[in-house]
Structure 1
Amino acid sequence: MGLDWTEAKQRQPRASAILARTIEKDRLAHAYLFEGSRGTGKMAIAELMAQVFLCRQRTGIEPCNECADCKRVTSGNHPDVHVIEAQGAVIKVDQIRGLKKEFSMRGMESGKKVYLVKDADRMNASAGNSLLKFLEEPDGEALAILTTTRPQGMLKTILSRVQVMSFQPLSPDVFVKSLVEHGVKEQDALLLSRMTANLDEALALTEEDWIAEARKKVIQLLDDLVTRPGYSLISLQDDWVPFFKEKPDVQLGIDLLILWYRDLLRLKVDQPEELVYVDQEDRLWKQAVNLTEERLANHLQAVVDTKRRIDANTSPQLAMEQMLIRLQEG
């Protein structure tokens, strides 16, 4: 079963409310542009719109999810739903021409047709102009939904002929819930929700248990720093450096360090319910009681400074070693 409007409104309250109200009043536009960052649910809601448009048994705004049309849309094989996406780097004019040819024929199931153009900003000029003519003169009963992360990269003439719906980053609660629904452990989902607002990016970080392993490395390094400070540089060399090999990975590791120190600050100001490392509260308390607020602020600043230095192309390993020395000195 696909998304329903209750879930859609949780993910995208404003855009979904407008679309649902439009369906309720039977005033669907013939063409929409869903714009927003990746992982905000644009294609899931586009699929829901296709179901609504094609379902012949729906009551109110919800598709029935039982008829052949609904099932074919959610399985991705409805003959009257056409998805266009880039072949290589761009969407080519031949793809749009092929789409127009499809639409010149009556819908196989209901006389209606839906076309979804993914990453519409990747259309080359010829494809964009060809689609423009299609938007100006839709053939029969059709619904067009274009998606993009870069509306500024699209022809202004296309933007003027579609109804633009802006998709906002998911709220932290919805983001965590979505990750958990994708099989991510809640403790990892909480961390990811503070590191990115992009669902696709967050899921990529869970591949091969990367985020879970990164989390362990961070906790181990900080534990060594507190319980056996003389060993922390060895821990850095033996465990941290081999794992966080590339600069972007190092930056993510530092983000996890920053989140740990912010958790320590949360305990200092009596906000345990806001912890990100929820399963590490005992360890966090042990560290928090041994740090004054001033020392804790200095530690956090040392980590933030390290991230800035790496941004400025300081050697990640050197920057991390110097950070550990600063943290040991207090």
Structure 2
Amino acid sequence: MKTWSEIAEIQPLASKIITNSIKKDRVSHAYLIHGERGTGKEEIAIILAKVLFCMDLNGIEPCNECINCKRIESHNHPDVHWIEPEGKSIKKEQVENLQKEFTYSGLESNRKVYVIKDADTLTVNASNRILKFLEEPTRQTTAIMITENSQAILPTIRSRCQIIDLKPLNPVSFQNKLLENGLKKQEAILFSALTNNLQEAIEWSKDQWFEEARKLVIQLVEMFSTKPEDVYLFIHSHLIPLLKERKDQEKFLDLLLLAFKDILYYHIGNENEPIFYQSTDVLLEKAAMSFSEEQIIDNLNAILKAKRKLKQNVQPTLVFEQLALQIQR
């Protein structure tokens, strides 16, 4: 997506809000763009930056051909600064370096833009540094923060930004795109529940990791009901070796969440096709018989809590051990 018209197809309200401000020459000094993975956050940030620097702007649309547009597209424009987490967080030193850059005049104009990816990972000290930027805005500076979890950002920062909430993509439309790209129906249903990014879903469908993780989720759910005493050994011997990176740990919890959602829907007689299990899977019926509705809801909440702990950098092994204890209860 490289134009506002393309953005408008999936995010009509967000596109309208931002383009109206462009037309009126009232671009905000700071935006907080919030939305799920694949909903267009980074694309919006790039197009907005292009609008501010494009050498051949066509109304509200950047030309996408001039040197400024091309450099912004490749994250190489000297006056458009990108900050991303180093490791698991954005640190104070990164923001200090940004502040140092902003003490100099723009290399090619007086305008400057900075984009903060995964803004919810700002440390407390880094957040306080960013807050100083936002408290003294200049017309020539635009901040764009993008996040999947705006509630994790300091209220004082949120209050100084124009918040742009992006709506989830239409799952049926997304599934059809996946089918057109060669995925099987069950794969399309599963991956559309995990991501809204087409290329990411296609890559994941070819990744053997997902097949292995899915098998382990099924084994883990079955073990909770049949051999709960073996769960800790299973976690250390099978899960921990597979889940070396935080992104893998989070994806595994997403799969476990989908599994328990299917079990809950089976309980309440939901007619929608299961996402994680096959509709005729005997394991789904077996799992549903092992947990009450109340237990399943408690388990779903426990998994969501575990995901939050991972984002807070709690030691992964401890997170999974605590989750196992909560589900066993």
CA offset at residue 195 of structure 1? Answer: 3.1
Is the Cα contact below 8 Å between 1:188 and 1:211 reproduced in 2? Answer: no
165-174 or 59-68, which deviates more: 165-174
CA separation in 2, counterparts of 1:196 and 1:307?
26
The yes-or-no answer on 1:199 pairing with 2:182 is no
Q: Which residue of 2 aligns with 1:161?
A: 160
Deviation (angstroms), 1:204:
5.9
Per the alignment, do residues 308 and 12 of structure 1 end up closer, same or farther by CA in structure 2, a change over 3 Å counting? farther
Cα pair 1:190 1:276 within 8 Å, conserved: no
Which whole-Å CA distance do the structure 2 matches of 1:179 and 1:65 have between them? 27
Gaps of at least 5 residues in structure 2 are 216-237, 240-251, 301-329
Residue of structure 2 in register with 1:134 after alignment: 133
Identity of paired residues, percent? 41
1:69 aligns with 2:68: yes
Distance in 2, Cα, partners of 1:125 & 1:40:
27
Match for 2:31: what amino acid? Y
User: Is residue 119 of structure 2 the alignment partner of residue 120 of structure 1?
Assistant: yes
Q: Which moved more, 1:63-72 or 1:124-133?
A: 124-133
In the aligned structure 1, how far is the partner of 2:111 from the partner of 2:13? Answer: 27
Q: Is residue 302 of structure 1 aligned with residue 277 of structure 2?
A: no
Compute the displacement of 1:80 (Å): 1.2
Deviation at 1:83, TM superposition (A): 0.6
Q: CA deviation at 1:213?
A: 10
- Tell me if the contact between 2:179 and 2:188 (Cα under 8 Å) persists in the aligned partners: no
Instruction: Encode CA deviations 1:124-146: one digit per residue, 9 max, x unaligned.
Output: 12111111111122356121100
Q: TM-score scaled by structure 2?
A: 0.63
Using the alignment, how far apart are the partners of 1:249 and 1:149 within structure 2? 15
Structure 1 residues 308, 149: CA separation in 2 closer, same or farther (over 3 Å shift)? farther
How many Å separate the matches in 1 of 2:290 and 2:59? 52
Aligned to 1:80: 79
Change in CA separation of 1:156 and 1:250 when aligned onto 2, cut-off 3 Å = closer
CA drift of 1:107 comes to 1.8
Q: 1:179 to 1:7 in 2, by over 3 A?
A: farther
Deviation track 1:94-133 (CA, whole Å, cap 9, x = no partner) reads 1111111112222222322110001112111211111111
- Map of 1:1-330 to 2, 5 A cutoff? 3-139=2-138, 141-176=140-175, 179=178, 185=183, 187=185, 190-192=188-190, 195-196=193-194, 198-199=196-197, 202-203=201-202, 205-208=204-207, 302=285, 305=288
Question: 1:104·1:139 contact (CA, 8 Å) conserved in 2?
Answer: no
Structure 2 CA distance for partners of 1:299 and 1:189, relative to 1, 3 Å: closer
Residue aligned with 2:90, SS = coil
Question: Deviation of residue 248 (structure 1)?
Answer: 6.1
CA distance in 1, matches of 2:211, 2:119: 35
CA 1:79–1:188 in structure 2 vs 1: closer, same or farther (change >3 Å)?
A: farther
Per the normalisation by structure 1, the TM-score is 0.62
Q: Which moved more, 1:134-143 or 1:186-195?
A: 186-195
- Amino acid of the residue matched to residue 114 of structure 1? V
Using the alignment, how far apart are the partners of 2:93 and 2:287 within structure 1?
50
Q: Give distance in 2, aligned partners of 1:79 and 1:250.
A: 41
Letter aligned with residue 194 of structure 2: T
Q: What is the alpha-carbon root mean square deviation over aligned residues?
A: 4.2
Q: Take 2:179 and 2:75, find their aligned partners in 1: how far apart are those partners?
A: 24
Cα–Cα, structure 1 residues 303 and 27, in superposed 2: closer, same or farther, change >3 Å? farther
Native 8 Å contact 1:32 1:162 kept in 2: yes
Q: 1:52, CA displacement in angstroms? A: 1.1
**Residue segments in structure 1 that go unaligned for 5+ positions in a row:** 218-244, 267-273, 278-295, 314-330
Cα offset, 1:303, TM superposition: 6.8
Post-superposition shift, 1:31? 0.4
Contact 1:90 1:124 in 2 (8 A): yes
The 2-side partners of 1:117 and 1:25 are apart by 25
Aligned pair in 2 of structure 1 residues 61, 253: CA closer, same or farther (>3 Å)?
Answer: closer
Aligned-partner Cα distance in 2 for 1:188–1:301? 15
State how far apart, in whole Å, the 2-side matches of 1:306 and 1:40 are.
37
Cα deviation per residue 1:161-190 (whole Å; 9 max; x = unaligned)? 100011111112553476579x56475774
Corresponding residue pairs, total: 254
- Indicate conservation of the 8 Å contact 1:251/1:307, yes or no: no
After superposition, the C-alpha distances for 1:14-71 in whole angstroms (9 at most, x for unaligned) are 2122112221222110100011222221111111111111112111111001100001
Q: Which amino acid aligns with 1:191?
A: I
Rg (Cα) greater in structure? 1
